Structure 1
Amino acid sequence: MTPDVALDCRNVWKIYGTGAERFLARNPSPGPDQLGEHGFIGAVRDASVQILKGEIFVIMGLSGSGKSTLVRCLSRLIEPTGGHIHFDGRDLLRASPRELIEIRRRKMGMVFQQFALLPHLSVLENTAFPLDIQGVDRATREVRAREVVKLVGLEGREDNYPRELSGGQQQRVGIARSLVVEPDLWFLDEPFSALDPLIRREMQDEFLKLQNLLHKTIVFITHDFDEAIRLADRIAIMKDGSIEQIATPEELVLSPANDYVAEFTRHVDRAKVIRARSIVSPLVETGSG
């Protein structure tokens, strides 16, 4: 794995059905029809992707496309049927349960659509909770939690409980809680999709500001193409468990790999996506010839 690659996912499969691992061993590249004939469901099919350090990598797809399943495979919250996932110098599929727990606690942050805050804990206590699990002393975890609460714009709300917060504020707590461990790799699964449109836009702005400060390696899931092109350095578009194309937002708009990808870009305001150099560069090259 090259130094600029944070996560290297190669030929990952998640097949549901009895005997899926034996089936995949006998049939290394089964198509959808072959899977169906044998009673299997291919939730993730032969997915390969390299996620670069410091980038926002968005996995985009409609409901049922396999995007959330793939991300859960990357962190082994779901056990892949086959493939290789290299992170932090090791193949995660060979890591022991104890090693996985430590990797998730100390190297990975996760934010989901459901806020999953502990209702009996304050904002500060919810934020500090992962450090408590790590065994960090109370004084240290409180200092760190206060820093992160301030970072996500909730200074002054440290003593509030989840029921006293708006949806956007609750999601900020979820983000703070995932950041408090200073993760090397940050997974966000549709974190803003349950919010009202205006709040969602505000959270996207705050998210980009945070990334400009922190330069995290981020895997972000969404079904909203406008959100994807607004946030992403690169986008993977999924359909029926397979990755259709991986590209920058402007590459997707200019050179969609197939009709399925092109359909996503059809109603996009291209002026917002295509940078001047994407149009000017070919003209310069032509002129110089």
Structure 2
Amino acid sequence: MRASAGPENTGDRPQSTKLACRGLWKVYGSNAARILQQRNFTPTSELLQSHGLVAALRDVSVDIREGEIFVIMGLSGSGKSTLVRCLSLLIEPTAGQVLFENRDLVTVPEKELIWLRRHKMSMVFQHFALLPHLTVLQNVAFPLEIQGIGQPTRESRAAEMIELVGLKGREGNYPRELSGGQRQRVGIARSLTTEPEVWFLDEPFSALDPLIRRELQNELLRLQRILRKTVIFITHDFDEAVRIADRVAILKDGIVEQIGSPEQLVLSPATDYIAEFTRHVSRAKVVTVAAIMQRDWQGASAANPVKSNCRIETVARQVLDSEGATRVVDDAGRVVGAVSRDAVLSVLFPES
């Protein structure tokens, strides 16, 4: 049975929905909208194929919370990039709603939609798309120039963003004079100059080597702690999703198979596809202490407690080196349980 969502650990994240879609379809081919309506938006794959139609998205509904990093995953051709482009209305869905703060963007006049994209949303692509004839400062200031903002104001704002992403001193360089990681930082800075509320990132680090990729993942998390944007992030790398995601949606053939935290997807897969998708993921990288701790901490060591939200891989050595169970605390330092050596071993060696 397919599940669009499971029980979720929301933590301290704000719970208001910033961006959502309802019954979203994107079907390529002639008369696609009419055929969907005739079949009450429940066409079979065989029917679509018989009409020469290709469904990139099939009845997708998601809610993206304000201030969260929402990762969209799937194999090539699963529909993840199409979903992001529909959510930003870069392409128009065949059917369904796209709700920004509960307003359906599909019905918004084109002029207003352009304003929303320029002021409320921003996107970073896999390929940096920097303008080669402009300096770093000019590239970062370019979105504000498009808005008609004066040069002193836009360059001042651009300089702030350049410093924020760690490129201060590079303002006068041209893209050809930068490394791949530096060029992507310029792209990130440029996307932030308009102070967007929703930030789309379409596999922004996949073209980079592993060390630079990890560095930019850390940079993204640092920026998110400062800016608290609503982030929609596409990746095909589950390890990357584990590092950055609050929640993950996994797509297959244009259908959302499951939505949940990385831990939920690994421990409670809703379908055989999700189980296979996550089969080779290291559980120690995903499972948190909270998932395996006991609520009774009597007799557990009070020295060097571990935090409940830590991944097992980061605390395994400490717990295994202790003589007995180790106390677990929350972010406020309150004792909430205890974790045993056996519990940690069961995560490290699940087949034992």
Over 3 Å counting, the alpha-carbon distance change for 1:20 and 1:279 in structure 2 is: same
Q: Which residue of 2 aligns with 1:95?
A: 108
TM-score, normalization by structure 1: 0.95
Over 3 Å counting, the alpha-carbon distance change for 1:281 and 1:19 in structure 2 is: farther
Q: Which residue of 1 aligns with 2:17?
A: 5
Task: Verify: 1:32 aligned to 2:45, yes or no.
Answer: yes
Q: Which moved more, 1:70-79 or 1:84-93?
A: 84-93
C-alpha displacement of 1:221: 0.3
Q: Which residue of 1 aligns with 2:302?
A: none
Over 3 Å counting, the alpha-carbon distance change for 1:159 and 1:69 in structure 2 is: same
Task: Letter of the 1:179 partner, please give it.
Answer: L
C-alpha displacement of 1:269: 1.4
Identity of aligned residues (%): 64
Distance in 2 of aligned mates of 1:15 and 1:229: 31
Q: Which moved more, 1:165-174 or 1:86-95?
A: 86-95
C-alpha displacement of 1:34: 2.1
**Deviation sequence 1:4-58 (CA, Å, 0-9, x none):** 1001210100000000010111111112222112211000110000000000000
Distance in 2 of aligned mates of 1:77 and 1:283: 52
Structure 1 residue ranges, 4+ long, deviating more than 3 angstroms after superposition: 281-284
Q: Which residue of 1 aligns with 2:334?
A: none
Distance in 2 of aligned mates of 1:3 and 1:194: 33
TM-score, normalization by structure 2: 0.78
Q: Which structure shows the bigger proportion of residues in helix conformation? A: 1
Task: Letter of the 2:268 partner, please give it.
Answer: S
Q: Which moved more, 1:24-33 or 1:48-57?
A: 24-33
Equivalent of residue 186 in structure 1, options 196, 199, 210: 199
Distance in 2 of aligned mates of 1:281 and 1:265: 26
Structure number with larger C-alpha Rg:
2
Q: How does 1:175-214 map to 2 (within 5 A)?
A: 175-214=188-227
Task: Verify: 1:216 aligned to 2:229, yes or no.
Answer: yes
Structure 1, unmatched stretches of 5+, are: 285-289
Q: How does 1:136-285 map to 2 (within 5 A)?
A: 136-280=149-293
Distance in 1 of aligned mates of 2:101 and 2:32: 28
Distance in 2 of aligned mates of 1:227 and 1:85: 27
Distance in 2 of aligned mates of 1:29 and 1:62: 24
**Deviation sequence 1:196-231 (CA, Å, 0-9, x none):** 111111111111111111111000001111111111
Q: Which residue of 1 aligns with 2:148?
A: 135
Task: Letter of the 2:99 partner, please give it.
Answer: H
Structure 2, unmatched stretches of 5+, are: 1-13, 298-352
Q: Which residue of 2 aligns with 1:72?
A: 85
C-alpha displacement of 1:178: 0.5
Task: Letter of the 1:70 partner, please give it.
Answer: L
Q: Which residue of 2 aligns with 1:287?
A: none
SS at match of 2:96: strand
SS at match of 2:216: helix
SS at match of 1:116: coil
Distance in 2 of aligned mates of 1:236 and 1:52: 13
